[in-house]
Structure 1
Amino acid sequence: MEIAGWAAVALGAVMGGVTVVGHLCDQVPALSQKMITAIRSVRAVREEIKQVDRE
C-alpha cells in the first residue's frame, strides 16, 4: 500500500509541474512559440523512428 501512496505523490507532482510549465508558456508568447516548435520537432522525430521501425 505504501507504493500506491508514493505513486499518487509522484503523479501529483508531475501533473503540478505540467500545469505550472503550461501556465508559464501561456504567459510568455516568445516562450510559447519555442515550445510549439520543440513539440513539433519531437513529434517529427517520433514519426521518423516509427517509419524506420516499420521498414
Structure 2
Amino acid sequence: MELAGWVTVGTAAVVGGFTVLGHLFDQVPSLTQKMITAIRSVRAVRDELRSERR
C-alpha cells in the first residue's frame, strides 16, 4: 500500500511539473516582445546620453 502512495505522489509531481513548464513556455512570446521593447528603450537612452557628451 505504501508503494501506491509514492506512485501517486510521483505521478502528481510529474504532471504538475509539466503543467508549470507548459504555462511558462506559453508566456515566452509575450515576454520576448516586452524584452525587445525594453532593450530598444535602453539603447535609445544610451544613444541620447552619448550624443549629449559630444
Measured against the shorter chain, the TM-score band is 0.5 to 0.7
The residue type paired with residue 17 of structure 1 is G
Inter-partner Cα distance in structure 1 for 2:18 and 2:28: 16
Q: Which stretches in structure 2 are left out of the alignment for 5+ residues? A: 31-54
Inter-partner Cα distance in structure 1 for 2:29 and 2:6: 35
- How many residues were matched structurally? 30
Moved over 3 A (4+): none
Q: Which stretches in structure 1 are left out of the alignment for 5+ residues? A: 31-55
Please give the TM-score of this superposition, normalised by the length of structure 2: 0.53
Please give the TM-score of this superposition, normalised by the length of structure 1: 0.52
Identical positions, percent: 63
**Structure with the greater alpha carbon radius of gyration:** 2
